[in-house]
Amino acid sequence: MRTDEFMPTSVGEARVAWYPGQGKPRAVLAVGHGTATGIEAPDLQALAKTLPAQGITVALVEQPYRVVGDPSLSGPTILDAVWRELWPRFESARLPVIAGGRSAGSQVACRTARDLKALAVLALSYPLNGPGQARELLDTGRPTLIVQGGHDPFGRPAQFPALPSTMELVEIPQADHVFHVPYGRQAALDRLTTAVGGWLDRQLPPAA
């Protein structure tokens, strides 16, 4: 069951949509949205639908610029600052917290993970050939999963640099930046959620 929480930040309210983990709680996955899509993006909703059954609480984070409708609040410095302000709320359950995001949201997660001591980083559709940078991605300092469409114009899997052993890259065949595929989006989303769920199981103690 989804619960929305509006949280004050230094630049206005953010919205966090909470999807509580079922059974014994294992972790919190905080996920930020991209520039063109909000928290209703199909991949984020797919994670929110499937991961709670594994004991993972999913927190989908809507940045203030979308909540208040002010594009001037969408710069990376502000996005990172808001994420840092919200982070103690994610930690309040005293569970491991994984930082995640799609596209621009994945950049925020990558840039802040080390300082915030996130357990790990989930990067969906990382914009390697857009505003992103290989250095930003490689400097997370945390185990990192990248899920990338095979036809993503912002970075196909083959274009990524060599990754250290702590980082994994999963390709969704023929998918674009928002995981549209010619063979049916649900099949692509199933691949995505299976990959993320398996990776989270490897980062966390076994579910009770």
Q: Where does residue 69 fall: left (phi above 0), alpha (psi -120 to 50 degrees), or beta otherwise? A: left
Instruction: State how far the Cα of 125 lies from the Cα of 114, in Å rounded to an integer.
Output: 20
- Summarised one tens digit per residue, pLDDT across range 41-64 is 999 999 999 999 999 999 999 999
The neighbour count for residue 8, using CB atoms within 10 Å, is: 11
pLDDT, one tens digit per residue, over 140-191 is: 999 999 999 999 999 999 999 999 999 999 999 999 999 999 988 999 999 9
Residue pair 138/161 in contact by the 8 Å Cβ criterion: yes
Structural domain boundaries of the chain? 3-203
Confidence of residue 208 (pLDDT cuts 50, 70, 90): low
Q: Which residues contact 108 (CB under 8 A, 6 or more apart)?
A: 32, 76, 79, 80, 83, 101
| DSSP conformation letters of 67-126 | HTT-GGG-SHHHHHHHHHHHHHHHHTT-S-EEEEEETHHHHHHHHHHHHHT-SEEEEES-
Count CB-CB contacts under 10 A for residue 81. 16
Residue 207 predicted with pLDDT over 80: no
3-203 homologous superfamily:
Alpha/Beta hydrolase fold, catalytic domain (3.40.50.1820)
